[in-house]
């Protein structure tokens, strides 16, 4: 795991104990810190405790006051089979930090999923003058003790995951040790440090950028900014400003790569240049014509932008063009992102479940011809304007989920529409009507939470429905 002496002897609160939160607790404890950990989900709290072999189990009881120790039977923190008891300083407390005096804490480490604009911990931390940070900031603080390395940070509303995975793949193709982390894959603090010369490739959401103040990326990338997550910000300008902070943390001389296909991103590119860093800046213009025929997993105009950003980043890392070309050609793509699931009776089935808003669904409509389009779920907008340029490629639409009626009313008159209701019904109907050479495309333009746990579960259900066709 990635940890460091920067944590030694300090006290932290960790709020949110999903994957990144659990890894954060372990990294802090390993670095000699004491930790107060909490999650509103009792199962998440309980999963942290058994077998950790560290500290004491304290949990808030009743109507306030000091946390009280639970019994060994209630919270078996240390089992004899787990080895010797913890060394001094590895102190784990389970308590809600909102009920504690936070004076003297080194930081409150929150999950990116915690809505700070609505959570009381924000005001409490400000009163106690304790910084609210995330696991990416802890990684930044631990960097000084890692073997010499470089960090690439990628943000943007759409395309982050593909670009992150593509850069990692090209680095490995070139023989460089590399791993992807942040908002993709395993939590970064839970990974083993890379050897000297390694490259950490971090996908960074706006929430993660909000929670770091010292991540100096050797290469920082902004792909695009379109309206998303606005419930967490003071309007679109606040969301865009969050993305721009990635460049404000950079040392002059480090590479900045910005897609300028939208005004908000172009404004950030201008800010980087005006700030005296024009020599550091590479701008990725929209609509560049490229031969993508050699890159089977990178089809569509959006992937042209992703590829250009990855090429510029890898060139900034000193990777030769031959290795870059080989990496682009051999990149396998990502699950749920224009993933080619199967071809049956001449019909291609594509899983683009990660397209959770109209802007991210639009590229898939431009990447294929003769499409049977499955869309719907929890709508983030009440329109599909971003998808409109691809309407001419759609043979028929099949709407599902909570937004089914809304999207049907928008699309009727533009194309034939079937109100399928469920994903399984849509797949069966589309498969029965599609002709050889056509594509059945799940690109929902919606979140998944009405019918599925997350977009991954939705994509898995699409694959299962295709396999069930026989």
Residue 114 has pLDDT above 60, yes or no: yes
Residue 51 has pLDDT above 80, yes or no: no
Q: Are residues 149 and 247 in the same domain?
A: yes
Closest CA to 386 of 307, 301, 467: 301
Identify the band that residue 55 occupies on the pLDDT scale cut at 50, 70 and 90. very low
| pLDDT of amino acid 202 | 98
CA-to-CA distance for 52 and 83, rounded, in angstroms? Answer: 10
Q: Are residues 128 and 183 in the same domain?
A: no
From residue 8, alpha-carbon distances to 3, 38, 282 in Å are: 10, 21, 39
Inter-residue contact 90 to 29 (CB < 8 Å): yes
Q: Are residues 281 and 163 in the same domain?
A: yes
Identify the band that residue 83 occupies on the pLDDT scale cut at 50, 70 and 90. very low
Residue 60 has pLDDT above 60, yes or no: no
Lowest mean pLDDT among 43-57, 103-117, 218-232, 405-419: 43-57
| pLDDT of amino acid 310 | 98
From residue 379, alpha-carbon distances to 159, 180, 327, 450 in Å are: 20, 30, 36, 10
Q: Are residues 213 and 292 in the same domain?
A: yes
Percent of the chain with pLDDT over 70: 90
CA-to-CA distance for 375 and 397, rounded, in angstroms? Answer: 7
Inter-residue contact 47 to 24 (CB < 8 Å): no
- Which tokens go with 405? 């009626």
Query: 39 is in which domain, residue-wise?
Result: 5-133
9-34 mean pLDDT? 93
Inter-residue contact 440 to 341 (CB < 8 Å): no
| pLDDT of amino acid 191 | 94
Q: Are residues 280 and 354 in the same domain?
A: no
Residue 66 has pLDDT above 80, yes or no: no
Q: Are residues 215 and 322 in the same domain?
A: yes
Lowest mean pLDDT among 67-81, 145-159, 412-426: 67-81
pLDDT per position as a tens digit, 392-451: 999 999 999 999 999 999 999 999 999 999 999 999 999 999 999 999 999 999 999 999
Total number of domains in the chain: 3
Q: What CATH number did the domain enclosing 103 receive?
A: 3.40.50.720
Q: What CATH number did the domain enclosing 392 receive?
A: 3.90.190.20
Inter-residue contact 161 to 203 (CB < 8 Å): yes
Identify the band that residue 194 occupies on the pLDDT scale cut at 50, 70 and 90. very high
From residue 301, alpha-carbon distances to 52, 55, 306, 361 in Å are: 48, 53, 9, 12
Question: Which of 310, 330, 350 delimits the end of a domain?
Answer: 330
| pLDDT of amino acid 63 | 35
| pLDDT of amino acid 77 | 31
| pLDDT of amino acid 127 | 93
Identify the band that residue 116 occupies on the pLDDT scale cut at 50, 70 and 90. confident
Q: Are residues 114 and 210 in the same domain?
A: no
When the pLDDT of each residue in the chain is averaged and rounded to a whole number, the result is 88
| pLDDT of amino acid 355 | 92
Residue 422 carries which DSSP code?
S
Residue 445, helix vs strand vs coil? coil
Q: Are residues 28 and 165 in the same domain?
A: no
Residue 293 has pLDDT above 90, yes or no: no
219-241 mean pLDDT? 86
Q: Are residues 293 and 354 in the same domain?
A: no
| pLDDT of amino acid 87 | 35
| pLDDT of amino acid 251 | 96
Beta bridge partners of 275: none
10-22 mean pLDDT? 91
Q: Are residues 234 and 348 in the same domain?
A: no
The residue count of the chain comes to 470
Q: What CATH number did the domain enclosing 148 receive?
A: 3.40.1190.10
19-40 mean pLDDT? 92
Inter-residue contact 366 to 299 (CB < 8 Å): no
This prediction's pTM: 0.79
Q: Are residues 259 and 149 in the same domain?
A: yes
Question: Which of 133, 151, 178 delimits the end of a domain?
Answer: 133
Q: Are residues 389 and 440 in the same domain?
A: yes
Residue 88 has pLDDT above 50, yes or no: no
CA-to-CA distance for 15 and 181, rounded, in angstroms? Answer: 20
| pLDDT of amino acid 79 | 32
Residue 81 has pLDDT above 60, yes or no: no
Question: Which of 307, 330, 353 delimits the end of a domain?
Answer: 330
At 45, give phi and psi (nearest 5°): -65, -45
């Amino acid at each position: 795991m990635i940890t460091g002496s920067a944590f030694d002897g300090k006290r932290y609160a960790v709020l949110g104990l999903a994957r990144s939160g659990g890894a954060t607790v372990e990294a802090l404890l390993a670095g000699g810190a004491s930790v107060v950990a909490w999650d509103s989900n009792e199962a998440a709290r309980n999963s942290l405790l058994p077998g950790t072999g560290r500290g004491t189990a304290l949990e808030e009881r009743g109507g306030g006051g000091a946390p009280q120790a639970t019994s060994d039977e209630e919270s078996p923190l240390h089992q004899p089979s787990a080895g010797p008891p913890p060394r001094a300083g590895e102190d784990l407390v389970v308590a809600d930090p909102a009920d504690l005096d936070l004076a003297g804490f080194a930081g409150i480490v929150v999950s990116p999923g915690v809505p700070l604009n609505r959570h009381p911990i924000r005001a409490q931390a400000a009163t106690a003058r304790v910084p609210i940070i995330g696991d990416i900031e802890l990684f930044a603080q631990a960097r000084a003790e890692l073997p010499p390395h470089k960090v690439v940070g990628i943000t943007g509303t759409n395309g982050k995951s593909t670009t992150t995975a593509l850069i990692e793949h090209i680095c490995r193709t070139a023989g460089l040790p590399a791993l992807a982390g942040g908002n993709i894959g395993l939590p970064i603090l839970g990974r083993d440090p890379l050897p000297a010369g390694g490259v950490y490739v971090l996908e960074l959401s706006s929430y993660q950028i909000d929670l770091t103040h010292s991540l100096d990326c050797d290469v920082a990338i902004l792909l695009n900014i379109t309206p998303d997550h606005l419930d967490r910000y003071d309007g679109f300008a606040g969301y865009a400003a969050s993305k721009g902070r990635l460049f404000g943390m950079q040392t002059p001389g480090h590479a900045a790569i910005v897609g300028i296909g939208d005004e908000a991103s172009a404004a950030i590119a201008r800010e980087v240049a005006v700030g005296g860093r024009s020599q550091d800046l590479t701008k990725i213009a929209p609509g560049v014509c490229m031969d993508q025929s050699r890159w089977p997993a990178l089809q569509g105009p959006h992937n042209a932008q992703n590829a250009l950003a990855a090429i510029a980043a890898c060139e900034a890392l000193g990777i030769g063009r031959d290795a870059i070309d080989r990496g682009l050609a051999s990149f396998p793509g990502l699950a749920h992102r224009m993933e080619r699931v199967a071809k049956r009776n001449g019909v291609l089935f594509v899983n683009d479940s990660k397209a959770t808003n109209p802007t991210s669904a639009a590229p898939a409509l431009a990447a294929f011809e003769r499409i049977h389009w499955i869309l719907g779920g929890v709508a983030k907008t009440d329109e599909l304007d971003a998808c409109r340029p691809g309407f001419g490629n759609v043979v028929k639409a099949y709407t599902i989920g909570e937004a089914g009626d809304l999207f049907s009313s928008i699309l009727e008159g533009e194309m034939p529409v079937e109100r399928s209701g469920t994903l399984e019904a849509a797949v069966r109907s589309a498969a029965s009507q599609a002709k050889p050479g056509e594509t059945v495309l799940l690109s929902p333009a919606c979140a998944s939470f009405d019918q599925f746990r997350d977009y991954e579960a939705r994509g898995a259900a699409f694959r299962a429905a295709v396999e069930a066709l026989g």
